[in-house]
A and B are shown apart, each in its own frame.
Chain A
Amino acid sequence: MERTGARRRWNWLLLLPFAGLLWVPLYARQTPELFGFPFFYWYQFAWVIVSAALTGLVYRLTSRGE
């Protein structure tokens, strides 16, 4: 049972998207641009992928041994 609790600690990784996206000054800027997208936009699109990857990672880490 304690092992479940230890594994559940990985859930904290999922605060990263909240930090990265709710702290708006981090990305409310024009440059650097990517494929014509201002930073403000491609940064958000990049987080879609990163956030899904993080969630997938946490899923694997928390389901080990099940």
Chain B
Amino acid sequence: MLAVFLSCIALVAAVGFLSSRWWRSDVTALEEWGLAGRQFGAVITWCLIGGDFYTAYTLIAVPALVFGVGASGFFALVYTILVYPFVFVVMPRLWTVAQRDGYITLADFVRGCYNNRWLALAVALSGIAATVPYIALQLAGMQVAMAALGPVFGAHASGWPLVAAFALLAAYDFSSGLRAPASIAVVKDVMIYTLVIAAAVWIPMRLGGYGHIFSAAARSLAVRPVPGFLILPPKQYLSFATLALGSALAAFLYPHMATSVLSARSARTIQRNAIVLPAYTLLLGLVALLGYMAIAAGLHPANANDVVPQLIVRMFGPHFAGFCLATIVIGGLVPAAIMAIAAASLFARNVYHASPAQEARVAKWASLLIKLAALAFVLSGRITYIINFQLLGGIWILQTLPAIVFGLYRRRLAAPALLAGWVAGTVVGTLMAIARGSVYPLHIAGLDLTAYAAIDALVVNLVIATACQLFSRPLARIQDGGQQPRQPSSGQIKLAVNDSH
């Protein structure tokens, strides 16, 4: 098993090394990543976006949650269905503005739109902060996959999988970074599809079919100390729907996703991708069912997050299991590297304001710090389900939604109001997450409003922003009376032109 595992990792590394020599170029990291989207056809773009999206989140975190709690874990399937209609409608509009004004990050867009550097800084900081726990999820996913290989450097060294995961990520980032070519994304996708199709066909055959898996899961979930449910009970409707909606609205605000969209070849490319990317959603749904298959197979891992690697080792022969575990590690590694570099470039560009000459160096250091922060998240070890890392990131990133969506459609709220909303939403969301985790049990006037804290925080954000806008308007009128009219920003003029067609 270990030999196959290591061969697979080595093979992918070789593919990456060879093709990065093929397409060598000198442009800066962020633009180069964008270029990948421009120079390749629809199929490879599809692999790139899908590859960034479906990660250890899909392969480890979602099935672990389904194994642990049952039906409510399927919010992830609803989320990955709803994200594409949203992308289809909103993102082409953003792309059009970004293309014309040369924006490559959402913070650029906000800066140009509102001509307010504090709001742009807030958007950048949210992007960086939200990426850190998302990378932590990838590290934790790689960790559990490698732990399933068994004791490799002696049984006493139980910390090695995390050390290995971090070392792999740092080495991968150092050697190829964003140059990590499209070929790796293609190889990775082929590996993941092989794993998923094998698992979705072979494991149910061994366990007596899907009908049997569902009924076994229902029986076992019902008798847990904290009962789970095969069919969502009414008290979980709201949390299920808000988790799905919040995640769907947040997904493309992450720096690495936003950049992949903004650098697409055309607005129509984004829309075509939004039509075909749901193929990955089917895959996510099938992988989520691995959680139930693990229950039906009678697995009792000490930690729910170990459930997929253990199921793989139990169900498949050692060679194929080695391949599968390598797939999971690659599936976490590649997006983690892209996330780290996207967030680091965002730091260099929109927080540090590095000159082009400094940019690469600043980004490299920032990337290392971001990865170390992610490692600290994993080591903090307070989390039962690693999906909570991503949900925490979602709370932060979703607070940038008003600035971006209002910037695109209706410029009703001014930058100071949006900034006040952002502060309020971020603080409230963070406090909720610290107090009770990502799903907050809110009770108002006898109503059980237990929901995803990102949505609660977004409501606070919008209320505060609107209130500030209403109260500041008379004030602003007084101030405007005594001052020269301000030069409108270039972004506003251009956007006004754009709105007319």
Contacts and interface: CB of A to CB of B under 8 A. Distances in A.
A25 interface: yes
Nearest to B280: A48
B210 A44 contact: no
Interface stretch (B157-165, B232-240, B329-337): B232-240
Contact of A36 (B81, B212, B278): B212
B76 to A, nearest CB: 10
Interface in B270-322: 271-272, 274-276, 278, 281-282, 285, 289
Contacts of B233: 28
B330 to A, nearest CB: 25
B88 A55 contact: yes
B85 A51 contact: yes
A7 interface: no
Contacts of B78: 21-22, 44, 47
Nearest to B239: A24
Contacts of B77: 44-45, 48
B209 A36 contact: yes
A35 B231 contact: no
Interface string B252-286: 00000000000000001001101110100110010
Nearest to A40: B231
Contact of A1 (B209, B241, B501): B501
Interface size grouping (class) on chain B? 35 or more
Contacts, number: 103
Dominant secondary structure at the B interface: helix
B232 A28 contact: yes
Given A36-B210, A38-B231, A45-B282, A17 B271 contact: no
Contacts of B234: 25, 28
Contacts of A52: 84, 275-276, 278
Nearest to B284: A48
B278 A48 contact: yes
A13 B450 CA distance: 30
Contacts of A55: 84-85, 88, 271, 274-275, 278
A41 B74 contact: yes
B355 to A, nearest CB: 41
A22 B241 contact: yes
Contacts of B274: 55
Contacts of B282: 45, 48
A23 B230 CA distance: 18
Interface size grouping (class) on chain A? 35 or more
A45 to B, nearest CB: 6
Interface in A14-40: 14-15, 17-18, 21-25, 28-30, 33, 35-38, 40
B501 A4 contact: yes
Interface string B75-113: 001100110110011000000000000000000000000
Contacts of A22: 78, 82, 241, 244-245
Contact of A11 (B74, B82, B89, B289): B89
Nearest to A8: B89
Given A1-B500, A59-B275, A44 B81 contact: yes
Nearest to B241: A22
Given A17-B82, A48-B285, A24 B232 contact: yes
Contacts of A54: 85
B374 to A, nearest CB: 31
Contacts of A21: 78, 81-82, 244
A49 B81 CA distance: 9
Contacts of A15: 85
A58 B272 CA distance: 11
A21 B275 CA distance: 18
Given A48-B281, A56-B275, A28 B231 contact: yes
B172 interface: no
Most chain B CB neighbours (cut-off 10 Å) among A29, A45, A55: A55
A36 to B, nearest CB: 3
B85 A37 contact: no
Given A21-B244, A51-B82, A55-B274, 9 more contacts: A22-B245, A24-B241, A35-B210, A36-B213, A36-B214, A41-B74, A41-B214, A47-B78, A55-B88
9 contacts: A15-B85, A18-B82, A18-B85, A22-B78, A22-B241, A49-B278, A52-B84, A54-B85, A59-B88
